[in-house]
Amino acid sequence: MRIKNAPQLAAWLPQIKEPINSYLSRYVRALAAQEESLPPEAWASAVTAIYSGQPILLTAKHVLDRLAGRRLLLEGPNHFQHIPVAPDSLAANEAADAVAIRLPPQSLDWGIQFLVLDMQQEPALAVGDMEIFVAMGFPTRETERHVQQRQLALTSVSYWTFEHHDGCRLLRRSASDCLAIKYDRERSFQYGTQRNLKKPHGMSGGALWRLWGPVTEPPSLSRHALAGVLTEYHESPAKFMLSARVSVAQSLGAQLIRS
């Protein structure tokens, strides 16, 4: 994460990062792609959610577009679960690069957690409040593939950062659909030290969380919500990640309910 905007965050992180990551990560799952009888390969990330009682899977639309006939697999507690991708089970927003997939009712018994999407909203900030964003997903370069055992050793990664207010404008995207956060691989902090991070391919479809509150108080789970679904990252013309806003995800959930 970059700490330029809030120097005190460097002191807060050792105490707050792990419990917050542990709680939020329960709603972020890895996706794998599998071709016929070959072992699965690390592919992307997703958010498991419920909208109006319907379990759904949120991810980036390009994650599905690039499957090229391969099966989509969702990480479960003990194995990968095949997720059929049929047109009548999808709702997509092309401009925001976001998609929702209807999951069967029995998915509630798969042993994974579902975020209540209906309850997520953007906060009304008070004077003196700040927002901190946490991008969470499964970069493919952090995954080890054990071909003989047909297994993937998955590693969830989180990036703590702040909003990039020019990101959507630079890409000529609608600010009502997208949200950009600062992301500088060469000036980031992980595990308490500054280091160069690997390119975040595979983060697409993961969660962008927001934490907010007075600038004098460390971030906590007492004020948090889903901010969006990650879609892409850029190192030029500026360094940032992009996500589809939570309102886009909610709209997709509503489409699935109506269909």
Where are the domains positioned within the chain? 9-25+119-246, 27-116+254-258
Is residue 147 scored above 50 in pLDDT? no
207-236 burial: b if 16+ Cβ within 10 Å, else e: bbbbbbbeeeebbeeeebebbbbbbbbbee
Rounded to whole angstroms, the Cα distance separating 190 from 110 reads 32
Amino acid letter at 134? V
pTM of the model: 0.91
**High-pLDDT (> 90) share of the chain, %:** 65
**Helices marked H in the chain:** 9-24, 61-65, 167-170, 246-258
Mean pLDDT of 178-185: 91
Those residues with Cβ within 8 angstroms of residue 83's Cβ, 6 or more apart along the chain or in another chain: 57, 72, 73, 74, 101, 103
Mean pLDDT of 177-200: 72
Mean pLDDT of 220-235: 95
Q: Which residue has the higher pLDDT, 225 or 152?
A: 225
Which of 4-8, 40-44, 214-218, 231-235 is predicted least confidently? Answer: 4-8
Joined tokens for residue 194: 């500054």
Mean pLDDT of 182-189: 73
27-116+254-258: which CATH topology?
Answer: Thrombin, subunit H (2.40.10)
Q: Which residue has the higher pLDDT, 11 or 183?
A: 183
The domain over range 9-25+119-246 is classified in CATH as 2.40.30:
no
Helices and strands in the chain, H and E counts: 4, 18
Rounded to whole angstroms, the Cα distance separating 131 from 117 reads 20
Let me know: does 49 contact 240? Beta carbons within 8 Å. Answer: no
Residue range 25-60, pLDDT digits in tens? 999 999 999 998 888 888 999 999 999 999 999 999
pLDDT band at 143 (very low <50, low <70, confident <90, very high): low
Is residue 7 scored above 60 in pLDDT? no
* Intrachain domains 9-25+119-246 and 27-116+254-258 with the same fold: yes
Q: Which residue has the higher pLDDT, 84 or 196?
A: 84
